[in-house]
């Protein structure tokens, strides 16, 4: 049996995390680039921390905030500009591996980051 193509895997991941986004926050991913990204598989429950996200994503531009949700495997990054977020998306989505992770990260564009009580929001 052959392995699925990276596009097929990316589509499966997108569907999975779109469902999580809808279920937990009542939101859907954005079909166009925005300054808000959901980092689908990099959150506090997976041992990823603020410094890991800042170190990786600040390579693509100025970050306005990082939002990490307790007991969840995802997080959110808000860039200062859409151009910075687009550069990050194109450079990282399905490609980049964060420290202490086995596979690549997956990203979704969002119109805004969710409003969550009791999460960790780091203004940059």
Q: Could you tell me the pTM of the whole model?
A: 0.87
**Cα Rg of the chain (Å, integer):** 14
Report the alpha-carbon distance of residue 123 to residue 108 in Å, rounded. 20
In a domain, 55, yes or no: yes
71 in any annotated domain? yes
37, two tokens? 């990204």
Q: How far apart are the two ends of the chain, measured CA to CA in Å?
A: 47
CATH number of domain containing 68: 3.30.70.330
> Which of 51, 60, 63 is closest to 99 using CA atoms?
51
Confidence of residue 66 (pLDDT cuts 50, 70, 90): very high
Would residue 115 count as lying in a domain?
yes
Answer yes or no: is pLDDT of 82 > 70.
Answer: yes
In this predicted structure, the answer to whether residue 119 has a pLDDT above a threshold of 80 is no
Q: For residue 30, how many other CB atoms are within 10 A of its CB?
A: 15
Q: How many helices (H) and strands (E) does the chain have?
A: 3, 5
Domain region containing 111:
6-123
Question: Within a 13 Å sphere around the CA of 86, how many CA atoms are in the beta-carbon half?
Answer: 7
Residue 93 in domain: yes
Query: 7-65 pLDDT, tens per residue?
Result: 888 889 889 999 999 999 999 999 999 999 999 999 999 999 999 999 999 999 999 99
Q: How many domains are contained in the chain?
A: 1
Residue 1 lies in a domain: no
């Amino acid at each position: 049996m052959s392995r699925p193509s990276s596009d097929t895997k990316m589509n499966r991941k997108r569907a999975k995390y779109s469902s999580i986004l809808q279920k937990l926050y009542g939101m859907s991913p954005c079909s166009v680039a925005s300054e808000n990204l959901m980092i689908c598989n990099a959150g506090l429950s997976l041992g990823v921390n603020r410094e890991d996200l800042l170190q990786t994503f600040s390579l693509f531009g100025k970050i306005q905030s990082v939002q990490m949700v307790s007991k969840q495997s995802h997080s959110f990054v808000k860039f200062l500009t859409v151009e910075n977020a687009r550069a990050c998306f194109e450079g990282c989505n399905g490609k980049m591996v964060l420290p202490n992770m086995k596979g690549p990260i997956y990203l979704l564009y969002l119109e805004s980051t969710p409003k969550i009580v009791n999460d960790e929001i780091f203004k940059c």
